[in-house]
Amino acid sequence: MVRILEHANRYSKKDVFEYYKRTCQNDYWDYDSMTRKEMFERMIETYTPDYLISICTSWELKALRRLLRNQDLEDDRYRFERQALSTKFLYFDKEIPEEFKKNVKLAVNNIDLNQKALDDEPTIVILGIIRAFGIIEPSLIQAVCAACNFDYKSIVESELFNFWAYLKEDYRLIDDSFANEYVYWDYKDLLFDIRESRIQHERFGPKFLDQDSYISIFYHGYDATNPDIKKFFTAANKEVSDITRFKEDLFTSLLRGTVNEEKIDLIPLFNGFSDSLTKRYRKAVVQIALPNYYGLSMKGYKEAHEHVSFNDKLRSLNEKQTYAYLDQKDTRLFYKLYFSILDYVNTLEKIIPNKKIDPNNYIEPDELVNLIEVFWNEKDRFIDEYIQKNPLNLTHRNLNVIKDFKYGMRKNFLLAVYEKNYTVLNDEGINYMVKGLNENLDQFIPAEKTPMLIQTAIMPFNGMIIYDGFISMANMQLSQELVSKAFEDYSYGQKIYSLLPKKMN
């Protein structure tokens, strides 16, 4: 049984204060007026069951359950848990200090750890990104949150986030200017090394990864889902007697910029390794997503900053839509005519066998999209045949509406901006001013997600441009070039309100 207050003087006051700031986030931090023992006493008061749940990940809570069963965390599999819980002084001399045990038991007793992991996932993804970059501008994090539909405010205000990252208001950028940047807390003493390494390794631009990779980076310090990295550490485990120490030495050397893919001899424990392991190292190290390789170089920083700037500029032009849609009467007429010709195509081509294509019949969206693509691939032929046969005995006026569909197009557009009465779809420098059906498009594609690539069909209808009600959204990050061009096209490009030739308008 160990008591933390009996060992308060084991650590320097500076170290205790650093961890105290991270754990007791709502306290007033006064280094000069507090003793180490008082800092520990404040931690003891702060660590209520609810607070322990908020500041620990599901992995740490599982580890605390393990410790309550008198099992240690010394295996390399618990490297993250050991380090994280030690920083919170919840793992001290290989056990939970007596002062914390009661609340730890209450915290882990009935908690649903699977739900906890799901709830924390957005925060851990963002922390993984910050760990990969080391230092990153808040606007870039905001852009990621918008793209992933994460709640930026709730993430950056959470106890879990603020234990691992903090906002540095005077970080010196590569161009010698100063800015607010999020910093991964464990890298706070390496900021100069990271900055200098980025200048030297400008050839390594950041490659944006999937969410599972960032979760892995947060927990492991590297992307354990990457096959080349997995192969390297698997091979290293066979040649290294102490894999835990080896990883710590390797990551420290990489973060300080003292080694790279060529400078291997400077890594402790690496001397005398096989040629095979050396080759695996050189292949893995440039993918390991530590700040000196993964973070933004001078060129990358400027491009990313400009990209976010253009995103923000476009989004700032969005207006809350008020009447950017057809009324119900016109919408019903459109669906009647559009589904009529789709039903005609389906009868010919048998895309959805034994199914009547009707607005009132439910059809799987994927099946309907397949039919729509068949129609738009040969729309002129199908429209001419339909008008000639007129299977529903439509009026001449309605047949002319269908005939006008020939001037429509189905393709990829950039959803650029929402105006009060139109949705602006951009393509090749032209801004198509489009109306929705029954409701404004910003009701189901939020303005904060723009600009974004979509696939849809637009067509003329009653003197306006409408879309056909079917949109496929591309889940991808737009390049800086595409976003900046969209901003210029919207600002200075032509706005088209009708697809019909002028003599027909």
DSSP string, 332-370: HHHHHHHHHHHHHHHHHH-SSTT----TTS---HHHHHH
18 and 121 fall within a common domain: no
329 and 344 fall within a common domain: yes
Average pLDDT, the chain: 85
Structural domains of the chain, count: 3
- Say yes or no to pLDDT of 194 above 80: no
Tokens of 417: 């901006």
85 and 179 fall within a common domain: no
Q: Which domain holds residue 191?
A: 117-226+287-293
**Angstrom distances, CA of residue 285 to CA of 48, 127, 280, 288, 446:** 41, 21, 8, 5, 39
361 and 486 fall within a common domain: yes
Structure confidence at residue 50 (pLDDT): 95
In a domain, 452, yes or no: yes
Give the type of residue at 5: L
In a domain, 48, yes or no: yes
Burial class (CB in 10 A: 0-12, 13-18, 19+), 309: middle
189 and 85 fall within a common domain: no
Residue of higher predicted confidence among 350 and 296? 350
16 and 95 fall within a common domain: yes
Residue of higher predicted confidence among 449 and 374? 374
Range 340-346 average pLDDT: 93
425 and 365 fall within a common domain: yes
Range 162-182 average pLDDT: 79
In a domain, 268, yes or no: no
In a domain, 308, yes or no: no
Residues whose CB falls within 8 Å of the CB of residue 316, separated by 6 or more in sequence, listed in order: none
Structure confidence at residue 296 (pLDDT): 46
99 and 154 fall within a common domain: no
Structure confidence at residue 396 (pLDDT): 93
Q: Which range has the worst mean pLDDT, 133-137, 460-464, 473-477? A: 473-477
Residue of higher predicted confidence among 487 and 155? 155
89 and 165 fall within a common domain: no
In a domain, 320, yes or no: no
pLDDT band at residue 460 using 50, 70 and 90 as cut-offs: very high
36 and 105 fall within a common domain: yes
pLDDT band at residue 27 using 50, 70 and 90 as cut-offs: confident
